[in-house]
Chain A
Amino acid sequence: MSAVDRLQPIETLPGQERYVAPLDETPLREVDSIDESAPATSMWADAWRTLRKNPLFIVSAILIVFIVFVALFPSVFTKENPNYCSLENSLAGSSANHPFGFDLQGCDVYARVVYGTRTSISVGILTTIIVVFVGALIGAIAGFCGGWVDGVLSRLVDIFMAIPMLLGAIVVLQMFRSSSSIWKVVLVLALFGWVSVARIARGAVLSSKNLEFNTASTALGSTPMRNLFRHIIPNSLAPVIVIATTSLGSYIVAEATLSFLGIGLPTTTVSWGGDISKAQSILRTDPMVLFYPSVALAITVLAFIMLGDAVKDALDPKSRTE
């Protein structure tokens, strides 16, 4: 039976008679017409629209704006000097000007929490900036060049990956105990933090490098470098931004941990980690001294992690959990 034989007209079966829909019920539209009413949306505009509606983002954004404001202008919130400690106030309870009371050394806990914000936020933000810059650059180079360059850089990343960040930081910081700037913590955290960003950036560049619009662009006369900066990097930014926002919180935690261990920031610098460390000895007698800096730390980290989640949802709709 060839195909054509099957088509000999035979009587139609019931229910299969010829049917033509009335035209007024099925109006024809222009072939491939454009819906001009819908608003134009770029990826960023889309992401912003999603973000704006996300309660997670609203809450975390308000918190972060507040925290950053506190970090920038601590004197608005307290008139006390966090470094002015007098032993006669040791473990004194809260009063009108000192809502959180005093610690063992007689320092004002509220003032120290407020001034500690600045340390945490600056370490977090500075580390993130360095990490993103270094990590994205190395990752992008590895992904874009490929070949032996990628081989060498990827092994380097693997080596750093093998060293636990905190352990490495402890070892390195032991060597620079004398230095008293926050930069030492920032640089150490960046030294062990860039690898995760580099990995993500390399993957993102690799996948957007092979997209067809790069070939199209080359055929239009674009150079590889132009492709890298005009097409590949903009298309690889989203995952890097996501990892940067989520890891900002973890740098703040790492700084606090290092300060708690006594090898991070010098004792003269007001920091939540250092205060928590000092407060642990009097945990039984006055737990509130430990409570306030811990809560401040927890809220800050939570705010950044929530922001990271919201940004991830907005930039990568596929990962959204409905």
Chain B
Amino acid sequence: MEELDKVTQATANTNAASQSEGAQSSEEAMRAVQLEHGPLLEVKDLQVDFTGEGGKPVHAVRDSSFTVFPGQWVAIVGESGSGKSTSAMATLGLLPGTGHVVGGSIKFEGKEISGYKPKDFVALRGAKMGLVPQDPMSNLNPVWRIGTQVKEALKANNMDVSHEKRSKLSKALADADVTVNNEGDETFIGSQELPALLEAAEKALIEIGIEGEKLSRRMAQFKRDWVAGSETRWRVADALIKSGVKDDDAWYIAKKYVTGSSLEDRIAGLLDEAGLPDAATRARQFPHEFSGGMRQRALIAIGLACRPELLIADEPTSALDVTVQKKILDHLQMLTDSLGTAVLFITHDLGLAAERAQHIVVMYKGQVVESGPSLEVLQHPQHPYTKRLVAAAPSLASQRIISVKSRGEDASSIMEHQVNAEKLEKSETIIEVDHLCKQFKLPRKKELFKAVDDVSFKLKRGTTLAIVGESGSGKSTVANMCLKLLDPTSGKVTYEGTDISSLKGKDLLDFRRHVQPVFQNPYGSLDPMYSIYRSIEEPLRIHHIGDKKSRHARVAELLDLVKLPSAVMQRYPNELSGGQRQRIAIARAMALNPDVIVCDEAVSALDVLVQDQVLELLNDLQAERGLSYLFITHDLAVVRQIADDVVVMQHGKLVEHGTTDDVFNNPQQQYTRNLLDAIPGGKLELGLDL
């Protein structure tokens, strides 16, 4: 414990030092400390089994080894089911269901913990190891205030700071000359004493001759930085010394005015550290009043509440928008760096891993297939699986996918496609959206909510138009209006020159035949009661096309189109993976030979490799059939791979509209630039030897 305190101090100090001396030396100092301390977590040949049906063991993790050093970010990367979460949960002693460790060793701070009983783990969790879970929506208890849930984390680990630290401090203050020890310097500012502290600081600054503009700027910074329950005594002293106050005076002020915080202060401080503004008010709110990003910040505050040595972050941002993800991870990185916390970061996103972690562990089917320094592994992958992953990663560097046809493998159909294109030149625009608005009535609110506000764009025949935006930007509402699943409040959508709002009966059926959707959730868009055959056959049945035999042939043909064996026909959706279901959904959309397919976040729920496969498929279909896509996504990296034109939306408004190259190479709006910057690993070149 003492040793680790040293590490914490060292990291904190090196972090402070890095500002003046540059990153390189701090990294060296860090490395020296890490070497001296040895690994924080050492997992060797770990084997985890689940008991399957009939008591048969299912090997979830086999012979996996990885090491985490103090203060380090280590990423475990892999697709769903690769055993990455299971490995992490095994170290926490939180294996779900029938999971149990059957072999190997897990050493934490040099102690073997794989044989620990649940009781032993309780002492370890929270205080030594924190967890930031994946789903911010379900991991906060909806009936407790956020602050109460943070308090629970503190109390469960006897970190009820106010009490014990206060008593210690009062004892220390009773001895005339206050002896400075680490414990005291880690005391937090209390909200009661903050005004007096600021006053004293101002006086001290004036005394050393700082005044006017400079003084008010300094004070403003102090007010911002010195958060009750979060900033410590030594940081206060440090800040004062940096502003020019003499060492002795600075320490005198710090010791006199920083005497300890109340529990409420500490809770607010923790939430503030996690990046929640106005934390004291927020602490009294309930989870449902928080957005996804704010909930994740609260979970980070809980995970770090007891200052664990190791934080396990299990896909902490996969449910969030990219810009929010960037903000949260930047903040978490800053926070863990200053606290010296090591982070075991579980993700499926290679870009994210490359950007955040120093060391990367690639897992596949329960085994570690490759590990090493992250950039080296991702730039020069050696295992075929890593190579495959890197090749499929939709990083910013990648270009639009080139279809099989355009690669020149089938010249005749290119000719055909060209003929088609000439014929259709007259009506180049297939869907036109004109000053589209949609307002919703919100429950318990008087004013209408503008989900879509004056959006206009044209979808050109045979091309892909991507609508990009964060959740709540109104992009899906636009898609639903283009599909005539929602009626616009004002403005219109025209398909082939006809306003679709007037379509009824037979004309509507005809429109439906030409414009087909593929939805986001591959688990929801197929009826679980329908076999795959019936699902794909459904549109044919609705439109009374063909007889039983020809429909069967058509379904087989469609399955072949999406590269699934025709044996799938008799199966049911629950037997297929997300990617396979999404391909079924595409086959269903293709059944009526549509002109336009509206893909509403069609690949967002899929693993990288599967996502890549589906995108390739969509692209090949477009080249073969001259399809037009309206592609709704939040993922700009995917846009680069598939779209010709991009529409960027924010808060229901169209922010930017241009060709993909223009938008990516020369974004006009700050919002677009933010989105581009937020793409994880966007600036890194991966897979150099591929």
- Asked whether A133 is an interface residue with its Cβ less than 8 Å from the other chain, the reply is no
Task: Give chain A's interface secondary structure class.
Answer: loop
- Asked whether B145 is an interface residue with its Cβ less than 8 Å from the other chain, the reply is no
- Asked whether A164 is an interface residue with its Cβ less than 8 Å from the other chain, the reply is no
Residue in B28, B356, B525 whose CB lies within 8 Å of A213:
B525
- Asked whether B181 is an interface residue with its Cβ less than 8 Å from the other chain, the reply is no
A23 to B388, CA, bound (A): 14
A96 to B369, CA, bound (A): 80
Residue in A11, A21, A219 whose CB lies within 8 Å of B512:
A219
Chain B 68-98 residues near chain A, CB threshold 8 A: 69, 72
- Asked whether B376 is an interface residue with its Cβ less than 8 Å from the other chain, the reply is yes
Residue in B18, B524, B574 whose CB lies within 8 Å of A212:
B524
Contact (Cβ within 8 A) B69 A13: yes
Q: Which residues of A contact B162 (CB under 8 A)?
A: none
Q: Which residues of B contact A15 (CB under 8 A)?
A: 39, 42, 67
- Asked whether B11 is an interface residue with its Cβ less than 8 Å from the other chain, the reply is no
Contact (Cβ within 8 A) A26 B364: yes
Please count the residue pairs between chain A and chain B whose beta carbons lie under 8 angstroms apart in the complex. 171
Q: How close is A265's CB to chain B, nearest CB, in angstroms? A: 40
Contact (Cβ within 8 A) A13 B542: no
- Asked whether A95 is an interface residue with its Cβ less than 8 Å from the other chain, the reply is no
Contact (Cβ within 8 A) A13 B35: yes
Q: Which residue of A lies closest to B567 (CB)?
A: A36
Contact (Cβ within 8 A) B538 A34: no
With known contacts A13-B31, A34-B568, A212–B538 Cβ distance under 8 A: no
Q: How close is A31's CB to chain B, nearest CB, in angstroms? A: 5
- Asked whether B372 is an interface residue with its Cβ less than 8 Å from the other chain, the reply is yes
Q: How close is B528's CB to chain A, nearest CB, in angstroms? A: 6
Q: Which residue of B lies closest to A215 (CB)?
A: B485
Q: Which residue of A lies closest to B522 (CB)?
A: A212
Q: Which residues of B contact A14 (CB under 8 A)?
A: 35, 39, 67
- Interface stretch of the complex, out of B377-385, B463-471, B666-674: B377-385
Chain A 8-46 residues near chain B, CB threshold 8 A: 8-21, 23, 25-26, 28-29, 31-32, 34, 36, 38, 40-43
Contact (Cβ within 8 A) B609 A219: no
- Asked whether B579 is an interface residue with its Cβ less than 8 Å from the other chain, the reply is yes
Q: Which residue of A lies closest to B383 (CB)?
A: A20
Chain A 21-77 residues near chain B, CB threshold 8 A: 21, 23, 25-26, 28-29, 31-32, 34, 36, 38, 40-43
- Asked whether A162 is an interface residue with its Cβ less than 8 Å from the other chain, the reply is no
- Asked whether B613 is an interface residue with its Cβ less than 8 Å from the other chain, the reply is yes
- Asked whether A225 is an interface residue with its Cβ less than 8 Å from the other chain, the reply is no
With known contacts A43-B528, A215-B485, A221-B543, A21–B368 Cβ distance under 8 A: yes
Interface string of B345-386 (1 = CB under 8 A from A): 000000000111011000011011111111111000011110
Contact (Cβ within 8 A) B35 A21: no
With known contacts A43-B528, A221-B539, A5–B23 Cβ distance under 8 A: yes
Q: Which residue of A lies closest to B24 (CB)?
A: A8
Q: How close is A182's CB to chain B, nearest CB, in angstroms? A: 36
A274 to B354, CA, bound (A): 80
Q: Which residues of B contact A220 (CB under 8 A)?
A: 512, 516, 538-539, 542, 588, 592
Q: Which residue of A lies closest to B512 (CB)?
A: A221
Chain A 106-124 residues near chain B, CB threshold 8 A: none
- Asked whether A218 is an interface residue with its Cβ less than 8 Å from the other chain, the reply is yes
Q: How close is A44's CB to chain B, nearest CB, in angstroms? A: 8
Q: How close is A16's CB to chain B, nearest CB, in angstroms? A: 5
With known contacts A9-B376, A32-B580, A4–B575 Cβ distance under 8 A: no
A195 to B567, CA, bound (A): 44
A36 to B521, CA, bound (A): 24
- Asked whether B337 is an interface residue with its Cβ less than 8 Å from the other chain, the reply is yes
Interface string of A209-231 (1 = CB under 8 A from B): 00111011111111000100001
Q: How close is B429's CB to chain A, nearest CB, in angstroms? A: 21
Q: How many residues of A contact B (CB 8 A)?
A: 49
Q: Which residues of B contact A9 (CB under 8 A)?
A: 373, 375-376
Q: Which residue of A lies closest to B27 (CB)?
A: A10
Contact (Cβ within 8 A) B31 A26: no
Q: Which residues of B contact A23 (CB under 8 A)?
A: 383-384
Residue in B31, B376, B513, B577 whose CB lies within 8 Å of A221:
B513
Q: Which residues of B contact A287 (CB under 8 A)?
A: none
Contact (Cβ within 8 A) A18 B538: no
Q: Which residues of A contact B241 (CB under 8 A)?
A: none
Contact (Cβ within 8 A) B576 A219: no
Q: Which residues of A contact B337 (CB under 8 A)?
A: 1
Q: How close is A92's CB to chain B, nearest CB, in angstroms? A: 56
A11 to B34, CA, bound (A): 12
Contact (Cβ within 8 A) A212 B519: yes
- Asked whether A7 is an interface residue with its Cβ less than 8 Å from the other chain, the reply is yes
Contact (Cβ within 8 A) A19 B368: yes
Interface string of B539-582 (1 = CB under 8 A from A): 10011000000000000000000001101101110111101100
Residue in A28, A34, A41, A212 whose CB lies within 8 Å of B525:
A212
Contact (Cβ within 8 A) A31 B524: no
- Asked whether B683 is an interface residue with its Cβ less than 8 Å from the other chain, the reply is yes
- Asked whether A3 is an interface residue with its Cβ less than 8 Å from the other chain, the reply is yes
Contact (Cβ within 8 A) A21 B383: yes
Contact (Cβ within 8 A) A215 B34: no
Q: Which residue of A lies closest to B63 (CB)?
A: A25
A5 to B26, CA, bound (A): 12
- Asked whether A6 is an interface residue with its Cβ less than 8 Å from the other chain, the reply is yes
A309 to B10, CA, bound (A): 62
- Asked whether A151 is an interface residue with its Cβ less than 8 Å from the other chain, the reply is no
With known contacts A3-B355, A217-B538, A221-B509, A21–B373 Cβ distance under 8 A: no
Q: Which residues of A contact B483 (CB under 8 A)?
A: 219
Chain A 208-255 residues near chain B, CB threshold 8 A: 211-213, 215-222, 226, 231, 234-235
With known contacts A15-B67, A18-B371, A216–B519 Cβ distance under 8 A: yes
- Asked whether B529 is an interface residue with its Cβ less than 8 Å from the other chain, the reply is yes
Contact (Cβ within 8 A) A20 B375: no
Residue in A1, A32, A36, A222 whose CB lies within 8 Å of B565:
A36
Q: Which residues of B contact A42 (CB under 8 A)?
A: 529, 531, 572
- Asked whether B459 is an interface residue with its Cβ less than 8 Å from the other chain, the reply is no
- Asked whether B517 is an interface residue with its Cβ less than 8 Å from the other chain, the reply is yes
Chain A 145-167 residues near chain B, CB threshold 8 A: none
Contact (Cβ within 8 A) B519 A4: no
Q: Which residues of B contact A218 (CB under 8 A)?
A: 485
Residue in A8, A20, A38 whose CB lies within 8 Å of B27:
A8
Contact (Cβ within 8 A) B373 A26: no
Residue in B512, B577, B684 whose CB lies within 8 Å of A32:
B577
Q: How close is B76's CB to chain A, nearest CB, in angstroms? A: 13
Contact (Cβ within 8 A) B27 A222: no
Q: Which residues of A contact B359 (CB under 8 A)?
A: 12, 16
Contact (Cβ within 8 A) B513 A18: no
- Asked whether B527 is an interface residue with its Cβ less than 8 Å from the other chain, the reply is yes
Q: How close is A241's CB to chain B, nearest CB, in angstroms? A: 13
- Asked whether B610 is an interface residue with its Cβ less than 8 Å from the other chain, the reply is yes
Q: How close is A225's CB to chain B, nearest CB, in angstroms? A: 12
Which 10 residue pairs across A and B have the least CB separation, nearest first? Answer: A212-B524, A18-B372, A15-B67, A221-B512, A220-B539, A40-B570, A21-B369, A213-B527, A219-B517, A32-B579
With A6-B27, A21-B383 already in contact, 13 other A-B pairs whose C-beta atoms are closer than 8 Å? A13-B67, A13-B69, A18-B371, A25-B367, A26-B385, A28-B385, A32-B577, A32-B610, A211-B524, A221-B508, A221-B513, A221-B542, A231-B527
Which B residues form the contact surface with A (CB < 8 A)?
18, 23-24, 26-28, 31, 34-35, 39, 42, 67, 69, 72, 333, 337, 354-356, 358-359, 364-365, 367-377, 382-385, 388, 483, 485, 508-509, 512-513, 516-517, 519, 521, 524-529, 531, 538-539, 542-543, 564-565, 567-568, 570-572, 574-577, 579-580, 585, 588, 592, 609-610, 613, 683-684
Q: What are 15 sample pairs from A and B whose C-beta atoms fall under 8 A apart?
A: A7-B358, A7-B375, A8-B27, A10-B27, A13-B31, A16-B67, A16-B373, A18-B372, A18-B376, A21-B383, A213-B525, A220-B588, A222-B538, A231-B527, A235-B529
Which A residues form the contact surface with B (CB < 8 A)?
1, 3-21, 23, 25-26, 28-29, 31-32, 34, 36, 38, 40-43, 211-213, 215-222, 226, 231, 234-235
